[in-house]
Amino acid sequence: MIFSVNQSSLLPINTIILFAVIFVFFSLILLFSFITLRRKLQGKRIKILSVWTVGWLLAALLLFNTGFFGSYIDVEAAKSKTYSREELVQDLKQIETTIMDENPLFFADREILKSDFIKTYDLIEDKMTELEFYRLINPLVTNVNCGHTNLYISEALENNREEKAKFFPLKVTLLNDELFVLEDDQESGIKAGNRIKSINGLSSKKIIEKLIENISGDGDGEAKQRYILSKYFNSRFYDFVDNSDEFRVEYLNQDGNNKTTNLSAEQNSNYNLNSWSLHFADYRDGNYYDQEIFNDYALLEVNVFMQEKEEKFDSFLEGFFLNLKEKEISNLIIDLRGNFGANPFMSKTLLSYLVNKETDYFTDDLPFLQRLLGFTDPIKAAENNFEGELILITDGANFSTAAHFCSFFKYHKLGTILGSETGGSYVCSDSSKDIVLNNTRMRLHYSTLVYELVVEGLPKNKGIEPHITVKEDINTILNRRDPQLERSLELLGIM
């Protein structure tokens, strides 16, 4: 059993922390009253404190019993537990109300979405498991066309899978519209680089279509969805297509011959990811940013716009760009591949080293709180800003803050963008919140506020196209080559 905590609808914190914050706030008021009214309350403070403590304890007990803080759920039974139709309708209604009332629906048609919800209610059946219900309703959430709006499985089911779930056993990637195996299997004879034609009778084309419709992304583009499939196919395949114990696989071998084999599912905790946690799967242990300085160029890798514990981003960049100036490095490659975004202030900090004058970033349409916190403050050029040749490497992961960075970079012509289309553009919706569904305990992460850059002429509903498109193929992957970095060095005249 685990205790599944509810999320607050007021603030991006859980209800236990919210209760604690309210308790501390009113306790401070009480303490202030004791100080200012110490003469009037003399001899009464102990009695007041006793009543105060008992009152808060009773309130906490009452809220716990009514389920305000959350509920206990059975991890062992999470996979097989079924729910009544009434319970599932209630959960879907909770999703619909939340999205319709709080999500800005910037990339979605509200009336079409309403119609889709109505149709889905009719498809709910009695005694569905959590996974069956998830597969039914998740396309509704992805139809919001917001990369920050994701529905994912309950904490209990995720914990249940940690040691019990068995996934498609061989690592698979997506390249263009084809699925490729990335590792050998001696028993079946499958080799790394073999192309999958079908799994359990379902063609690779149908599998890709099914998975893309179940992955959230901004607007009409598919770059983010395809990137996620290229990195996390096995996880998404389990959730939305097939979690069988056995797989009949049709594939093309290295000689171009059709082959068929059977594979048994295998336990692999690396594939136990949900639709939101996979955005940060590669950075669980830090490694958020890194740099290398060579004789004739420098490489700056920003894997995610999050702060490392050991070295803060500001001091990291200050030292890096000071080194570039002192060593007279005139060629810089910024590698943003795999970066899903995160902190916009870190993006602005990096851009301050790339501009030579004060430049607007976000529009002034944000609420007072965001303006007060400095979101709409312009970017001011840093002291040791870079003035040489600049190349930015991008891919489909780049949405949210990372897409804002790419959009700003392209609009202001800071250098050459090389790689593939980004997963987002100059506008997205975030300031996200979380809720836990009352019955299944599935979790919804959803956006509430639109953030837009001060730019013009860029696409709104699809990603930013690079100036030079360079993509991987199966041979570069298997041979561990980096065609994007190689092409960047060629452009700089280094290779």
Same domain, 307 and 255: no
Mean pLDDT of 148-170: 92
Q: How confident is the model at residue 287 (pLDDT cuts 50, 70, 90)?
A: confident
- Assigned domain for 227 exists: yes
Instruction: Calculate the alpha carbon distances from 281 to 232, 235, 295, 387 in Å.
Output: 10, 12, 33, 34
291 and 264 share a domain? no
CA distance 327 to 295: 9
The answer on 224 and 265 residing in a single domain is: yes
Residue 183 predicted with pLDDT over 90: yes
Burial class (CB in 10 A: 0-12, 13-18, 19+), 271: buried
201-213 mean pLDDT: 97
- CA torsion angle 105 109 113 114 (round to 10): 100
β-pairing, 427-430 vs 449-452, is: antiparallel
pLDDT band for position 43 (cuts 50, 70, 90): low
Strand runs labelled E in 210-306: 246-252, 258-264, 266-267, 289-293, 298-302
Which stretch of DSSP H or E encloses residue 333?
strand 331-335
List the domain range (segments joined by +) for residue 313.
280-424+465-491
What pLDDT does 110 receive? 95
287 within a domain of the structure (yes/no) = yes
Give the mean pLDDT of 476-488.
Answer: 95
Q: Are residues 262 and 399 in the same domain?
A: no
Is residue 52's pLDDT more than 70?
no
Pair 211, 237: CB distance under 8 Å: yes
State the pLDDT at residue 73. 65
Task: Note whether 382 and 357 are same-domain residues.
Answer: yes
Average pLDDT over residues 368-382: 94
The 3-state DSSP class for residue 196 equals strand
Residue 305 lies in a domain: yes
How much is the mean pLDDT over the chain? Answer: 90
Burial string for 46-63 (b: 16+ CB within 10 Å, else e) reads eeeeeeeeeeeeeebeee
Q: Residue 383's domain is classified under what CATH number? A: 3.90.226.10
> Pick from 81, 82, 64, 72: which is nearest to 128 by CA?
82
306 shares a domain with 222: no
How far apart are alpha carbons 378 and 190 in whole angstroms?
55
Angle at 200 between CA 196 and CA 203, to 5 degrees: 50
pLDDT for 86 beyond 90: yes
Instruction: Provide mean pLDDT across the span 274-295.
Output: 87
Which of 18, 51, 73 is at the close of a domain?
A: 73
Is it the case that residue 254 has pLDDT exceeding 60?
A: yes
Closest CA to 400 of 279, 271, 293: 279
Cβ contact 236:225 at 8 Å: no
Amino acid at 65: N
Categorize the per-residue pLDDT at 44 as very low, low, confident or very high, splitting at 50, 70 and 90.
low
Does residue 1 have a pLDDT over 60? no
- Tokens 């995160």 belong to 342
Q: Are 233 and 308 part of one and the same domain? A: no
Does residue 153 form part of some domain?
no
Least confident of 237-241, 285-289, 382-386: 285-289
Task: Say what percent of the chain tops pLDDT 70.
Answer: 91
- What pLDDT band is residue 79 in, cutting at 50, 70 and 90? confident
Burial 366-399 (b: 16+ CB within 10 A, else e): beeebeeeebbeebeebebbbeeebbbbbbbbbb
Residues 334 and 377 in one domain: yes
Distance from C-alpha of 456 to C-alpha of 153, rounded to nearest angstrom = 39
Position 102 confidence tier, pLDDT thresholds 50, 70, 90? very high
Helix (H) or strand (E) holding 349: helix 344-352
In a domain, 122, yes or no: no
Q: Does the pLDDT of residue 75 top 90, yes or no?
A: no
DSSP notation for 32-58: HHHHHTTTTTTTTHHHHHHHHHHHHHH
Helix 15-36 and helix 45-65, axial crossing angle in degrees, nearest 10: 170
Let me know whether 301 and 406 are in one domain.
yes
Residue 41 pLDDT level (bands cut at 50, 70, 90): low
Identify the three-state secondary structure at position 106.
coil
Eight-class DSSP state of 255: T
User: What integer pLDDT is reported at residue 71 of this predicted model?
Assistant: 66
Closest CA to 354 of 330, 329, 385: 385
- Classify the C-alpha dihedral 15-18-24-26 as positive or negative: negative
For residues 177 and 248, membership in a common domain is answered with yes
Report the pLDDT averaged over residues 112-132.
96
pLDDT in tens, 305-347: 998 887 899 999 999 999 999 999 999 999 999 999 999 999 9
How many domains are contained in the chain? 3
Is residue 438 in some structural domain? no
Structure tokens at 487: 């092409």
pLDDT given at position 37? 64
Closest to 360 measured CA to CA, from 369, 351, 370 = 351
The percentage of residues in the chain with a pLDDT greater than 90, rounded to a whole number, is 76
Domain boundary among 73, 91, 113: 73
Per the confidence metrics, is the pTM higher than 0.85?
A: yes
Residues 232, 326, single domain; the answer is: no
β-sheet bridge partners, residue 152? 443
**At residue 299, does pLDDT exceed 80?**
yes
How many CB atoms neighbour CB 258 within 10 A? 9
SS3 content of the chain, % helix, strand, coil (to 5): 40, 20, 40
Domain CATH number, residue 226: 2.30.42.10
Residue 309: how many other CB atoms lie within 10 Å: 7
In a domain, 444, yes or no: no
Tens of pLDDT, residue by residue over 404-457, are 999 999 999 999 999 999 999 999 999 999 999 999 999 999 999 999 999 999
Residue 91: inside a domain, yes or no? Answer: no
Mean pLDDT of the 35-44 span: 64
Distance CA 194, CA 184 (A): 9
Task: For residue 23, name the pLDDT band (cuts at 50, 70, 90).
Answer: confident
Among 73, 89, 113, residue at a domain's last position: 73
Same domain, 473 and 385: yes
Of the candidates 158, 230, 168, 225, the one whose C-alpha atom is nearest the C-alpha of residue 200 is: 168
Q: Are 224 and 215 in contact (CB under 8 A)?
A: yes
Dihedral pair phi/psi, residue 129, rounded to 5°: -80, 170
